[in-house]
Structure formats: structure tokens, C-alpha cells
Amino acid sequence: MALDGLRAVVDRLPEAVVVTDPAGEIQLTNAAANRLFAERPLRDDVDLLSRFDGVEPTAGMRSVRGDPPRRATVRPRHLPNTWFSLDRVPFDDASGPASARQDGEPIGSVFVLRDITDSADLQAEREAFLAVLSHELRTPLTTIYAGSSVLARRPPLTPTATETLARDISAEAARLYDLVENLLVIARLERRILEPLDEPVDLARAVDAAIRTITERFADIPIARSGGESAPAVHGDATYVEQACRNLLLAAWRFANSADDPRLVVHIDPDRANGEVAVRVFDRGPSMSQQELGRVFELPGESATGRLDGSGMGPFVVRQVIGAMNGRTWVRNRDGGGLEMGFALPIHELAGQAT
């Protein structure tokens, strides 16, 4: 079917439809796709796939002649409790006789996105999300309940034991506060009302505030900051930037605590050539496989283990709030063990006094 004929058919469909050429460039989007990606129009097929959890954003999803259709269940990164069935169907709009073209030759693709959020098939995914949430809640609530029950007993505990229990309760209450803050971000994403301010933000100030919060809770983990004294302000929302810094530090702290070298280092790295300032968090916890690295900023599934399970939903929220502020996130293994997790935000060229 020629592209013009295809356009006439798909524009009336309720499903989002995206058509690409052999190089992955967007050739056609229907009205439903335009609505789904209204805030940030698609560039190519890799950009399309990068908008979803559950599929690798690589050229590997491009069609070649002889390929069968492919299907995946995916979740938009900006709508974390919405699921789509993503179908990729080879599309041959090339001219010339089909007999002259060989299997394995690149051809176009039709991507069809069907909202299946209310489908019974997604019961397992919903239960997995609730399992993650209950896991996140269980530890702080158990500690607070058990600790307060012990403190209420008679005869009273020794001053040392009382102080230890009070510290534990305070730390878990703070952890519960972080969880609620992260859930609020997810709720705003779902309602499409995550609208960060665009103000000049001093990253050094945001990082220092996050470090103070973490060290007040966990004094046994040394955290050092380097750089940032002369870094320009960035575009962003100071509240969300500090939350992103705190989430990255907490994700690193959970595994640095058991490492031979428990120190965390936060480096602020201005890159004026590329118009951004980066925040990099370094730890010496366990390294990760390439597959695991690709899932760090996703909501952890029921099958997640190791660092993926222990990091909770914090990294997912980091990617969402940083993306909403036109920034980027990354994670990579370090030489000698551990991870570098970070984000970068665009420089605020007209900033005067940073917030």
C-alpha cells in the first residue's frame, strides 16, 4: 500500500500509528499518535522506543524484508501506570518489483500503539507494581511500629537504647517521607500535571542540601562534594532538583553502606560547550550487567534483584523530573567497581542570582 493510501486509512483509527522509512525516519503519524506525543513530537524510531519502558530504544526494532511482526507490552515513561501493546509490522513502500528485492533488506515499519491499561491481561503488571509499593512501605512502617511499641513499654529502656531506637524511628520516618514525595511525582505524571518551574537553580546549593539531609540520617556514610563553586545556574525547579539529588544519593547509599569503601562522591561538572551542568554520584557498591544498567531508571519489577531491587522507585522519579526539566540521566559502571549515576540540566544563560 502506498504511503498516501495508508494515511487515509490510519488517520481515523483510535490507536496511535507511526510509520517510518528504512532509515527509521518518521514518515507519517496519525491523529492519535499526535495527541499521545503532543508535548514532544517524535524524531525517529529510536526516539519513539526511548519513550517507553519494556523495549530497548535501539535500531534493532527496525524492519528488514522477511521479518515477522513483533509485539511488546510497554509503559510510557511519562505515564507510568498506563500500558500499551506495541506492534511493529514491516511496511514495504518501495518502488519496483518485489521479486527484485532480497530478504534482509531494510524496509519501513508501521508501529501501532493500543492502550491496554484496562485489559485483564495486565493484572500481573498491576500486582507487580503493588508488590513494589508494599515492599517500599513495609520496612519503614515495621520499624516505626515496632520501635514505638518498645519505647512505650515499662520499665523504660536505658538512655542509650532509647536514643538508638529514636534514631531508627526518625530515619524510617524520613524514608517514608521520601516515598510519599516520590509517589506524589508519579501521581502528577499520571494526571499529566507534573509542571516544574523554570527558574535559575544553583546545583551546588541543591546538592549541599541533599547531602545535609542524608548525613543527618546516616552519619556513618561520608559524602563529599567536588566542583560547582563557579558553575552557572541551570534551568529547573529547585524543589525537584533537590529531590533528584536526594534520590540518587539514597540509591547509592543503600549499597555503599556494605562496600569496602563506603564513601560517596558527588561531582558538579559544568560543560559550557554543550550548554549543560552535570551532577555525578560515584559509589563503590556492586557493578551491574549491561541489561541491568538499562533498567536502573525504570520502576523495579517483582523479579528485580540486587541493586535493581534495592534502589526502589527513586531513580525512576529522578528520570521523570529531570526529563520534565529538559535534562538527561545516565548510569554506567566505574573502573574498579561501583556506579556513576548522574543527570545534567541546561545552563540558564540569562540567570542572574540563582535560586
Of these ranges, 249-258, 284-293, 314-323, the one predicted with the greatest mean pLDDT is 314-323
Q: Is the pLDDT of residue 304 over 70?
A: no
Q: Is the pLDDT of residue 310 over 90?
A: no
Please tell me if the domain spanning 3-118 has the same topology as the one spanning 199-346.
no
Rounded CA gap, 182 and 189, in Å? 11
Rounded CA gap, 327 and 129, in Å? 26
Residue type, 243: Q
**What is the pLDDT at residue 174?**
82
* CATH class as words, domain 199-346: alpha beta
Please enumerate in sequence order all residues whose Cβ is within 8 A of that of 203, keeping only pairs 6 or more positions apart, or say none: 228, 231, 233, 234, 241, 268, 277, 279, 345
Q: How confident is the model at residue 351 (pLDDT cuts 50, 70, 90)?
A: very low
For strands 264-271 and 223-226, give the pairing. Answer: parallel
pLDDT digits (tens, 9 = 90+) for 131-176: 667 767 777 788 787 888 888 877 788 888 888 888 888 878 888 8
Hey, which CATH number is domain 122-190, 3.30.413.10, 1.10.287.130, 3.40.1180.10, 3.40.50.2300? 1.10.287.130
Task: Indicate the domain borders of the chain.
Answer: 3-118, 122-190, 199-346
- The CATH number that domain 3-118 falls under is 3.30.450.20
Q: How many residues does the chain have?
A: 355
Q: How confident is the model at residue 226 (pLDDT cuts 50, 70, 90)?
A: very high
Rounded CA gap, 210 and 228, in Å? 14
**What is the pLDDT at residue 100?**
42
96 against 194, higher pLDDT: 194
Q: Is the pTM of this model over 0.85?
A: no
pLDDT digits (tens, 9 = 90+) for 65-87: 666 668 888 888 777 667 888 88
